[in-house]
Amino acid sequence: MNVRLMEPAEIDLVAALLADATPGRSVDAARTEMEAHHGSSGSAIFVITLDDDPIGAYIMAAARMSVEIILFAVRADMRRRGIGTIIMQDALRRSGGRPMVVETDEATMPFFTAIGFKKFGRRKGPKGEVRYRVGWHTPGQRTKADTDDSPAT
């Protein structure tokens, strides 16, 4: 398996891969996200191939204090083989230890929690669907609440 930056000529292929990750499962919505992030500072689009066959993709963008996965998908016929976990491990490695945030729907929420992401937000999507914000941080990083040394009363 190989993870590499998307080539400009692959935009249609990658948009088709990422369509399942959009709320409307739309190639046009995936292409819109790709165009918004392709070439912009702090953003990158990655393609995952197996024997030169594209099987997944993700868009990563720098946020204020974290890194956000904008869209992430594994081709339908390649799911449930551990590929999504490998892709997220690659994204975590590329994040340089910065916290990572992903917005997901009800169907993929179990995947993210199974690989160590924690739910920290919930909202209604544009079509009324439930969307969750999940995050991951480098082991050993602590939040202010984790480090509160005040005595219990």
C-alpha to C-alpha distance for 93 and 53, rounded to whole angstroms: 23
**How many domains are contained in the chain?**
1
C-alpha to C-alpha distance for 114 and 85, rounded to whole angstroms: 9
Per residue in 85-102, pLDDT tens?
A: 999 999 999 988 899 999
- For residue 126, being part of any structural domain is answered with no
- For residue 8, being part of any structural domain is answered with yes
- Which residues form the domain of 54? 2-98
pLDDT at residue 148 in the model:
42
Sign of CA dihedral 75, 70, 103, 88: positive
- CATH at 6: 3.40.630.30
pLDDT value at 119 more than 90: yes
pLDDT at residue 106 in the model:
87
Q: What is the mean pLDDT of the chain?
A: 86
Per-residue confidence band for 43, with pLDDT thresholds at 50, 70 and 90: very high
Q: Dump strand ranges (E) for 92-129.
A: 100-105, 118-124
- For residue 36, being part of any structural domain is answered with yes
- For residue 135, being part of any structural domain is answered with no
Give this prediction's pTM: 0.83
User: What proportion of the chain, given as a percentage, has pLDDT over 70?
Assistant: 90
- For residue 26, being part of any structural domain is answered with yes
